[in-house]
Amino acid sequence: MVDLYPLARPFLMAMDAEQAHNLTIAALKTGLVPGGSRRDPDVLAARVFGLDFSNPIGLAAGFDKNAEVPDAMLKLGFGFVECGTVTPRPQDGNPKPRLFRVPTAQAVINRFGFNNQGLDAYAARLSARAGRPGIVGANVGKNKDTVDAASDYTACIRRVAHLAKYLVVNVSSPNTPGLRTLQSRDALADLLGQCLAARTETGATPPLLLKVAPDLTDEDKADIAAVVLDSGIDGLIVSNTTLARPAAIPPALAAEAGGLSGRPLLEPSTKVLGEFYQLLGGKLPLVGVGGVSSGADAYAKIRSGASLVQLYSAMAYQGPALVGRIKAELAQRLTDDGYAHVADAVGAAHRKG
């Protein structure tokens, strides 16, 4: 695949960050996407949640909020693509500007606020791709002004359960007021119970995952782990963006409200991932996301307990060829360490000997 991104990068970086993102989506919608023709190495194949992944590297939610380009992203080499977050009704999200690059830290701050075209448009696009190959997941949320949060999550699940390979309940965005309170023990148990019931009503059985924040106390993490094990959901995505502002973020940008993603999130999100792996005793598959920009980063997530890995922010700086580089680097590291399959390395950092 010819990597044209270095030529386009200066042009995109000179644009407003959200405008550049929208232009990227528009370009991908043309279908003129360079695809990797190489078959993924066998060492990268994984069976997780009952699904067969050709490789464990996925596109995190937030890039394709409206399910406009999942097939284009699969063509770029991702093993799976997560679309959303979608809400039942369309909403504009927070006022602009709301997306900020932090090039010196290879980071991004966003406060979008679940801007999306709504469930009707989202479901129509997923329905139109029915029967096509590739694992596409649906990330669901609530409208900002909805009081009964569960009613929004369940409405989305009922609509897309037959259209997505897996579902994600997003209670961890920092940009919808009150959303993260749904991670508290009683609220979470009630929400997950209603989401599972809604899935059952559809007759479909896509795996149901929960996406959590990195900014959790030890008590929060223990409570979430207990609820997750009791609920019967299928897995956990760790983690969403952080409200923290490490020293690497220049003061002017650190003052911007929103969630931080990119390289500074790698260490804290991987730490929380490892903690959940241990709290759950390896009983549920985990998806590791946050700060991944190399094969070494992906491998660190896997060794800390992730069966699958997602990325997004790093592509803004390194372009789509990053996906192939990460897969090649990860395959080499697995092979060098004597692993025949990526699953064999999951949680290796926590094993003695």
Report whether 328 belongs to an annotated binding site. Answer: no
One-character DSSP codes across 27-42: HHHTS------SPPPG
Report whether 239 belongs to an annotated binding site. Answer: yes
Report whether 36 belongs to an annotated binding site. Answer: no
One-character DSSP codes across 219-270: HHHHHHHHHHHHHT--EEEE---BS---TTS-HHHHTS-SEEEEGGGHHHHH
Q: Which residue type sits at 289?
A: V
One-character DSSP codes across 176-217: STTGGGGGSHHHHHHHHHHHHHHHHHHT----EEEEE-S---
Kindly give, in sequence order, each residue whose CB lies less than 8 Å from that of residue 147, ignoring residues fewer than 6 positions away.
Answer: none
Report whether 9 belongs to an annotated binding site. Answer: no
Report whether 115 belongs to an annotated binding site. Answer: no
Report whether 271 belongs to an annotated binding site. Answer: no
Report whether 170 belongs to an annotated binding site. Answer: yes
Report whether 144 belongs to an annotated binding site. Answer: no
Catalytic status, residue 307 = no
Report whether 53 belongs to an annotated binding site. Answer: no
Report whether 24 belongs to an annotated binding site. Answer: no
Q: Which residue type sits at 163?
A: L
What does each C-alpha distance from 315 to 163, 207, 262, 292, 325 come to in angstroms?
27, 27, 10, 10, 12
Report whether 65 belongs to an annotated binding site. Answer: yes
Selecting among 173, 261, 269, 307, the annotated active-site residue is 173
Question: What does the block give as tokens for 100?
Answer: 């900020």
Q: Which residues are part of a known binding site for substrate?
A: 65, 110-114, 170, 175, 240-241
Which are the catalytic amino acids?
A: 173
Specify binding-site residues for FMN: 61-65, 85, 139, 170, 211, 239, 262, 291, 312-313
